[in-house]
């Protein structure tokens, strides 16, 4: 399996989870109180996994009701193409996904993501943990307050903060 592809997809999921948790979006929740807002997360828990694929099969068979995130490819119907997309995500294969972002917007993107930026220190630490600093194009201003901790990100563009973003239009 391509390590860069896996790292890129893991980063996307971490960033999505971080931004959604940060904004505390109102949503249907599992018993842990968190729903990963990616279409394809059919059982609406904190991850996309084989349980989502199984639930999609049951929805297609008519034995279960669809959830808000069941239509993985957002084509207006739940069918085998949704299962195919979930399978590609589980295999870390390139795909187009649709998410509900921290501003409650529905956004589609191709994965793996080629470059990253962080408006908070959490994703910046995760970039370093995953070893993908070479794909980071911008970091929060807070990173520059601790050059020892974020030494590998000091040459990146200052994107401001989550409260006051600083990025070109």
Specify the pTM: 0.64
Residue ranges per structural domain of the chain: 23-111, 116-158
Q: How many helices (H) and strands (E) does the chain have?
A: 4, 5
Amino acid 140: pLDDT: 95
109 and 99 in contact (C-beta within 8 Å)?
yes
- Res. 116: pLDDT tops 70: yes
- Hey, how many other C-beta atoms are within 10 angstroms of the C-beta on 131? 12
Mean of pLDDT values over 44-64: 95
Amino acid 29: pLDDT: 43
Cα 138 → chain centroid: 18
Amino acid 70: pLDDT: 97
């Amino acid at each position: 399996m391509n390590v860069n592809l896996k790292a890129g997809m893991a980063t996307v999921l971490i960033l999505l989870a971080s931004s959604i948790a940060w904004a505390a979006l109102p949503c249907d929740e599992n018993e842990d109180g968190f729903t990963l807002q990616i279409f394809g997360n059919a059982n609406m828990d904190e991850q996309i996994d084989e349980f989502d694929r199984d639930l999609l099969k049951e929805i297609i068979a008519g034995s279960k009701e669809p959830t808000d995130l069941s239509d993985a490819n957002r084509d207006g119907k739940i069918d085998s193409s949704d299962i195919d997309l979930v399978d590609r995500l589980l295999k870390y294969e390139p795909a187009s996904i649709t998410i509900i972002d921290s501003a409650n917007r529905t956004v589609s993107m191709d994965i793996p993501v080629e470059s990253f930026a962080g408006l908070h220190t959490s994703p910046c630490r995760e970039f370093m943990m995953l070893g993908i600093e070479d794909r980071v194009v911008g970091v929060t201003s807070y990173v520059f307050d601790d050059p020892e901790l974020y030494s590998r990100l000091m040459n990146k563009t200052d994107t401001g903060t989550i409260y006051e973003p600083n990025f070109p239009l």
